[in-house]
Structures are given as structure tokens and as C-alpha cells.
Structure 1
Amino acid sequence: MATHLRPIEYLRSILGILVFFLLFLIATPVIAILLIFSLGKATNFIIKYIGPAIAYPVIWITGINFEVIQHGKPVDKSVIYTINHSSTLDLLTMIALGLPRVRFVAKWELQYNPLFFIVGRLTGQVFIQRKNRAQAIPALLKTYDRLKRDRLSIMVAPEGSRKHEGIIGPFKKGAFRMAIDLGFPIVPIYFEGNKELSLGGSLLTASGTIKAHIHEPIDTSDWSLETIDDHIDHLRGKYMEWAGVDEKTNYEVPGTE
């Protein structure tokens, strides 16, 4: 992970932050108008096109080369996308993907920012209180009917938080329980470079390359609550493999860079 930034990277980061919030501010009334005149049907258009239109200028300003690598054919049905979560850059790269008909599971605290609250609520994102399991699970259950009815996909970070020990944090059961309940395949997305470029929880970032690896879907049709721990371990093992992580120490294997 980056330990220091060059002066130009500080300047780029600060400019990127300002541009992000300016674009978000401009986009908010546009989003509201689109949703009003479309009777709420423009949400998928907003996420697929307006989201990347906000994210890509910021990515460019900060000197990041963002590559999307599709492993296998893109899916054309409802799925659960899982991502590794270790950096504030994850928010940008998630939005930049512009995946079709997707909704995001986000932490409740993001709503404390009025712009995120307005846009998140308008576009039907799922905010959960991750530290309160009794409230988090019902919040996810309430989305099931909407996901099925509108043929939506959902994106979730199984680690729950970017603040965790090692490279890949422990996986929570929420995404896997949803896969079982809904019968949706899981499509793992591995962000390569986010953790290395960002300074932990900082909004500042170094310049460099980020690759979003969209892997082939994992069939969940034969999963059950009795085997859920095995599936969690298997997928987390895949993320550790992609990250070049020693499964015993949860830190990078020497010589993998």
C-alpha cells in the first residue's frame, strides 16, 4: 500500500475530491428530474450512465488508469456481485463499472452526507446498519420482492467494512444468505490496485492502475444454510488467491508483486 504521495498526487487528489462533489451536486437535481418525469423508471439509466459520468472524470484527474477485465461472458440475469473492500477508492470503482440493473448495499452512515442520502434514496439503494444484525437482515429481506419483480442485481462487500486486518477481511454471511434465498448466482469482482493506491481510509490516492476483474458466475442452486460456511470459505479463498495472499497469515506472499 502507498506510504506517501508526491506533491502532484496530493494536488490531483484534492482536485478529484472537489470535482466529485461538484459533479454529484450537479447530478442530484438532474437525477430527481429524470425520476419524476419517468415515474421512477430512469433508475437503471442513471446507474448505468450517470454514475460512470461522475466517476470517470475523478479517476482521470487523480491519474488512475481504470481497466475492466471480463473473465468469461457478461451475465444477462439477476446476480449478486461481490467485491473486495479495502479502500475509499472502492466507491469510485463500483460506480464506474456502470453495471446494468444493479443496486448497492451501503453502510447506513453514508446517509449522513445529504447528497448521498438524497441520491441513494431516490435510486433505491440499500442502506443497512452493519453493526446491528437484528436490523440489517430485515432490511435485506425487504429488498427481495423488489429485486425479483424488477429483475435487479445487487452489489455487496462481504467484508462489510474496509477496516479489517490483513488483505482480505472475514466474510459476513449476508450476501451468501441472499444467494440462497433468492437463488441468484454470485459474480465475484476483484479490484486489483485499490488498496495499493489509497492511504487506508484517506480520500487521497496515488496515481497508478486499477483493474476490475469481473469473474464468471458461481452457481448457487445447490447451496443451503447447512453448507453456507463452506461456500463462504471457498469464495474468500478465491479472493485471497487473486490478491496473492498467504491464507495462514492473510498478508501478501513475498514475490507476488
Structure 2
Amino acid sequence: MLKLLRIIIVVICCILICVIGSIYSLIRFKNPNNVALFAHWFARLHPLFGLTVEYRYPEGADKFERCIYIGNHQNNYDMVTISHMVMPRTVSVGKKSLIWVPFFGVLYWATGNIFIDRENRNKAHNTMTTLAKRIHQDNLSIWMFPEGTRSRGRGLLPFKTGAFHAAIEAGVPVVPVVCSSTHQQVNLNRWNNGKVICEMLPPIPSSDYSRETVRDFAKHCHDVMEQHLAKLDAEVAQTHRQT
């Protein structure tokens, strides 16, 4: 009964956010602050899943220059956890098929996010070049999930290099954002589904890397995030043992 009630309430809330957000974003069409605004709206739904979410930021995070944020992509609960970490004047990059998701697709397009055709390598490469230009032309930061797909409990998957190519070309740092593991944590028939920690790490400069060493850049960022994910998971596990 609790699961059914939660599903009904969440669906209603998501549809309302998408409809209201689409109307608002069409009025302020592709305003770069739209994405953070409605990402935060979705994040406010986390109590409906029985989750407590803690957000952590490095000192001066609100004053970071333009950059590329990279997050770990786990499952559908990302929408109510790590989405709160999206900063103002930040747009995300998503697969073009998102446009066809009922209600959400229009919101994703109207808020100003960028679509990528992952099936076409040439188009995907051109998109990364376009991203690098837009960062400076439009004074934007970019949010990407470099794993390219949801990990669904498989740990931090290998990174694709697109985000790192764009960072090198634009000459901007990469800012890792790590969310503790949520795989199989949520039971919709349980009131309390525990704690999740989302943490933004300090920027990693791209100036030490080039096109020839882009894979080293990606691996370094992967190692940093993997180690921090293990740290957050251990902290959450300790918290759960104490409660």
C-alpha cells in the first residue's frame, strides 16, 4: 500500500514539475539558469522515497569559473539525489532520445540542455567541439555523466572521453561530483531508506593534458571519483549501522 501511494504521489509531482517547468522554460526559453532550477525541484522529492540526502560542496564552489561537471550515473534515483548538485548557468548533455520521454522530454529541451547522437561518432565529436565553444560564448558550465549509461550496481563504469576532450579544448577544469551508492537501497514499502551523500570535489585542471593524453585525464578523474565513492559508501554504511 505504501509503495502504491508513493508511486502515485511521485508520478503526479513529476508531471506537475514537467508541465509547469515546460511552460516557464518556454517563456524563458533556454535560459541557462532553468536547468538548475528544475533539477532542484526534482531533488526536493527525495523524502517521498524515504531518503535523507546530504549535500557537500568545496569552499568557494559558488564562485567556480566555467567548467565541466562530471557525475556518477547510477539509476533513476539520480533525479532526486545528485540532481541537486547542478549549479546555476549549467546545462547537461543527454542522448537525443530523451526528447521523446512523455512530459520530461519537452522540459529537457526547453530548459536548454544539449542533445547528443551517440550512435553517430562524427556527430558526437562535433557536439564536443560545440560544447567547448558554447562554454565561452554563452558563459556556461556543462554537466555530463562520462560513464555514458547507468551503472545499476556495477560500480563506477569506465569513462568515455567526450567530456575530457571538451574540457581540454575549452581550457576549463573538470569538477567531479560523487553520489554514494543507491543501488538496491530504496524499498518503496519501507518508510526509511537511509542516507545518501552527494559531494562536489575540487576542480581538476585540464591544462596538464592534451588530445594525445585525454585518456590519462579520464582515468585520473575516474580514479579520484572511484576512491571517493568508496569513502562515501563506507561513511553511509557506518551511519546505517549506528541507526
Normalising by structure 2, what TM-score?
0.83
Shift in Å at residue 213 of structure 1?
Answer: 0.5
Question: 1:34–1:114: structure 2 CA closer, same or farther, 3 Å change rule?
Answer: same
- Tell me if 1:146 matches 2:140: no
Q: Within the alignment, does 1:120 sit opposite 2:108 as a pair?
A: yes
User: How far apart, CA to CA, are the structure 2 residues paired with 1:18 and 1:193?
Assistant: 26
Q: CA deviation at 1:206?
A: 7.4
The match for 2:98 among 110, 123, 127 is 110
- Residue 143 to residue 179, structure 1, CA distance change in 2 (3 Å): closer
Quick check: 1:29 aligned with 2:18? no
Deviation at 1:210, TM superposition (A): 1.8
Cα distance in 2 between the residues matched to 1:76 and 1:211: 21
Runs of 5+ in structure 2 lacking a partner?
A: 239-243
C-alpha separation in 1, matches of 2:181 and 2:97: 25
1:180 to partner: Cα distance = 0.7
Q: Does 1:239 align with 2:230?
A: no
Counterpart position of 1:18: 12
Return structure 1 stretches of 4+ with deviation > 4 angstroms. none
Map 1:210-249 → 2, pairs under 5 A:
210-244=196-230
Counterpart Cα distance in 1 of 2:121 and 2:91: 20
Query: Closer, same or farther in 2 for the Cα pair 1:152/1:53, shift >3 Å?
Result: same
SS of alignment partner, residue 16 of structure 2: helix
Q: Is contact 2:94–2:115 with CA below 8 Å preserved after alignment?
A: yes
Matches within 5 A, 1:55-74: 55-56=43-44, 58-74=45-61
Q: What is the alpha-carbon distance in structure 1 between the residues aligned to residue 178 and residue 3 of structure 2?
A: 25
Change (3 A) 1:108 1:198: farther
Cα distance in 1 for residues equivalent to 2:151 and 2:42? 25
Q: Which deviates further from its counterpart, 87-96 or 121-130?
A: 87-96
Whether the 8 Å contact between 1:9 and 1:62 is mirrored in structure 2 is no
Amino acid at match of 1:68: Y
How far has the Cα of 1:214 moved from its partner? 0.4
Structure 1 counterpart of 2:80: 92
Alpha-carbon distance, 1:227 to partner:
1.7
Distance in 1, Cα, partners of 2:164 & 2:77: 24
- The equivalent of 2:158 in structure 1 is 170
Distance 1:188 1:18 in 2: 32
Q: 2:41 aligns with which of 32, 45, 53?
A: 53
Residue number in structure 2 paired with 1:4: none
Deviation (angstroms), 1:198: 5.0
Whether contact under 8 Å (1:64, 1:207) holds in the other structure is yes
Map Cα deviations across residues 111-149 of structure 1 (whole Å, 9 max, x no partner): 111433322222221111224322212123223332211
Tell me if structure 1 keeps the 8 A contact 2:179–2:198: yes
Evaluate the alpha carbon distance shift between residue 154 and residue 221 of structure 1 in structure 2; reply closer, same or farther with a 3 A threshold. Answer: same
SS at match of 1:142: helix
Distance in 2 (CA, whole Å) between partners of 1:167 and 1:198 is: 17
Question: Which residue number in structure 1 is paired with residue 69 of structure 2?
Answer: 81
Q: Secondary structure at the match of 1:140?
A: helix
- Aligned to 2:103, the other structure's residue is in SS state helix
Distance 1:69 1:89, change over 3 A: same
SS in structure 2 at match of 1:187: strand
